Chains A and B, each alone.
Chain A
Amino acid sequence: MSKTNLAIQKDLLRQPSTITLVGNPNTGKSTIFNALTGLRQKIANYPGITVERKMGSTIINGVLHKVIDLPGAYSLNHKKADERITYETLIGSYDYEEKPDLLLLVLDASNLERNLFLASQVMDLQIPILMVLTMSDIADERGIIIKPEQLSSAWRVPVISVNARSKNCDTQIKEALIEKGVAVPKPFQWNPTTPLRKAVERLDKEWLSKHTQLPKRARPIEALRLIAEGGLEDSFYQYSEGGKAKKLIESLQNFLEAAGENPTAAEVVQRYRFISDISEGSVSKEHSNELT
Chain B
Amino acid sequence: MSLSDAVVQQKYEVKQIQGEELVRIMEMGLTPGSICRVIRRAPMGYPMEIKIRGYLLSLRKKEADMIEVIPV
Contacts and interface: CB of A to CB of B under 8 A. Distances in A.
Contacts of A114: 28-29, 53-55
Contacts of A273: 31
Given A74-B28, A269-B31, A272-B34, A292 B54 contact: yes
Interface in B2-48: 11, 17, 22-24, 26-29, 31-37
B31 A111 contact: no
B54 to A, nearest CB: 6
A57 interface: no
A37 interface: no
A265 B32 contact: yes
A134 interface: no
A17 to B, nearest CB: 30
Main secondary structure of the interface of A (DSSP, over half): helix
A117 B23 contact: no
A269 B27 contact: no
B51 A292 contact: yes
A264 interface: yes
A149 interface: no
A268 interface: yes
A292 B37 CA distance: 6
Contacts of B36: 292
A153 B35 CA distance: 27
Main secondary structure of the interface of B (DSSP, over half): mixed
Contact of A264 (B23, B29, B35): B23
A213 to B, nearest CB: 25
B12 to A, nearest CB: 10
A229 interface: yes
B55 A265 contact: no
A272 B29 contact: yes
Contacts of A111: 54-55
B26 A268 contact: yes
Contacts of B51: 292
Contacts of A229: 23
A82 interface: no
Interface string A137-162: 00000001000000000000000000
5 A-B pairs with least C-beta separation: A113-B53, A268-B26, A111-B55, A75-B27, A269-B31
Interface of B: 11, 17, 22-24, 26-29, 31-37, 51-55
19 contacts: A113-B29, A114-B55, A228-B23, A229-B23, A264-B22, A265-B23, A269-B26, A269-B32, A269-B33, A272-B29, A272-B31, A273-B31, A291-B54, A292-B11, A292-B35, A292-B37, A292-B51, A292-B52, A292-B54
Given A264-B23, A265-B26, 5 more contacts: A77-B23, A228-B23, A229-B23, A268-B27, A292-B36
